[in-house]
């Protein structure tokens, strides 16, 4: 059985549905600023993370179900822009942290190789006295090997959790946000 591109596209779309009672469920209710400036709620982000773990593949559509009294096209647009901007910002921070870690790894490798190279050249060309060479080797040998291996570790073994979080926030920044409104049942 062959899957067409259209069928694969539909299969790759993942929907995450959340129900909110007010915009305080999306934005922090501890933040007294106007809605368009408030920070995104930690609980909202945690719920998205939890749902993301359930379905990691594909493009995301995030359905936000809200009471009818919240229906406002401007609010929808503002919420979508704020969420995308927030998730893009967090994604860029995560990406910078991974790059910073890898650059630090390269620096460690450079320091390690430089230390070992200096020690090897000093031993081979004998431009230091034997005592000086022994004293320097006590410091440079462990520094060189530690720098080399620790640098490789930082460069190659970036924690899967860091990469997972980076991908999560990238997908959330590119997700499609849809708003649906539900009528509240008449209270008896």
Say if pTM beats, i.e. exceeds, 0.85.
Answer: no
pLDDT attached to residue 113: 95
Residue 58 has pLDDT above 70, yes or no: no
DSSP 25: G
State how far the Cα of 78 lies from the Cα of 15, in Å rounded to an integer.
21
**Lowest model confidence (mean pLDDT) among 27-36, 50-59, 117-126, 150-159:** 50-59
- 176-182 vs 59-67, strand pairing mode: parallel
Question: Of the candidates 86, 77, 106, which has an alpha carbon nearest to the alpha carbon of residue 177?
Answer: 77
Question: Could you read off the pLDDT of 5-31 as tens digits, one per residue?
Answer: 544 444 445 778 888 888 888 888 888
Record the tokens describing residue 87, joined without a space.
């998730």
DSSP 32: -
């Amino acid at each position: 059985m062959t899957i067409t591109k259209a069928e694969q596209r539909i299969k790759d779309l993942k929907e995450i549905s959340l129900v909110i009672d007010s915009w305080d469920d999306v934005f922090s209710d501890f933040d007294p600023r106007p809605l368009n400036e408030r920070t995104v709620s930690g609980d909202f982000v945690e719920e998205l993370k939890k749902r993301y773990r359930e379905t990691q593949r594909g493009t995301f559509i995030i359905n936000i179900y809200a009471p009818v009294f919240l229906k406002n096209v401007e609010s929808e647009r503002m919420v979508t822009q704020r969420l995308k901007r927030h998730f893009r910002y967090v994604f860029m921070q995560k990406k910078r942290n991974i790059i910073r870690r890898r650059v630090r790894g390269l620096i460690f490798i450079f320091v390690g190789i430089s230390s070992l190279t200096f020690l090897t050249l000093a031993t081979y060309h004998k431009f230091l006295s034997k005592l000086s060479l022994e004293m320097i080797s006590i410091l440079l040998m462990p520094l060189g090997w530690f720098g080399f291996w620790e640098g490789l570790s930082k460069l190659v073994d970036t924690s899967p959790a860091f990469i997972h979080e980076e991908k999560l926030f990238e997908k959330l920044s590119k997700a499609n946000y849809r708003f649906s409104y539900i009528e509240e049942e008449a209270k008896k």
